[in-house]
Amino acid sequence: MAQNSSCRKRPNILITGTPGTGKTTTAAALAEVMELRHINVGDFANEENLTNGWDDTFDSYYINEDLVCDALENLMEEGGNIVDHHACDFFPECCFDRVVVLQTDSSVLYDRFTKRGYSDHKLASNTECQIFQVLLEEVKENYPDDIVIILRSDSLEDIAKNVETLTSWISNWSPVV
Residues annotated as binding site?
20, 22-25, 116
CA-to-CA dists, residue 14 to 4, 11, 25, 113, angstroms: 16, 10, 14, 23
Q: Among the candidate windows 16-24, 30-38, 113-121, 160-168, which touches Mn ion by CB under 5 A?
A: 16-24
42 touching ligand ADP, by CB under 6 A: no
Measured from the CB atom, the residue of 8 and 23 that comes closer to Mn ion is: 23
46 touching Mn ion, by CB under 5 A: no
Distance in angstroms (rounded) separating the CA atoms of residues 121 and 150 = 27
Given a contact cutoff of 8 angstroms between Cβ atoms, the answer to whether 175 and 9 are in contact is yes
Residues 6+ apart with CB under 8 A from 41: 63, 68, 83, 84, 85
Q: Among the candidate windows 44-52, 65-73, 135-143, 156-164, which touches ligand ADP by CB under 6 A?
A: 156-164
5 touching ligand ADP, by CB under 6 A: no
CB of 123 to ligand ADP, least distance (A): 14
Distance in angstroms (rounded) separating the CA atoms of residues 109 and 128 = 10
Distance in angstroms (rounded) separating the CA atoms of residues 12 and 37 = 9
Site for ligand ADP in 12-41 (CB under 6 A): 17, 19-25
Site for Mn ion in 19-38 (CB under 5 A): 23-24
What are the phi and psi torsion angles at 84 (to 5°)? -120, 110
Tell me the three state secondary structure of residue 1. coil
CB of 25 to Mn ion, least distance (A): 8
Site for ligand ADP in 88-117 (CB under 6 A): 112
Residues at the interface with ligand ADP (CB under 6 A): 17, 19-25, 112, 153-156, 158-159
Residues at the interface with Mn ion (CB under 5 A): 23-24
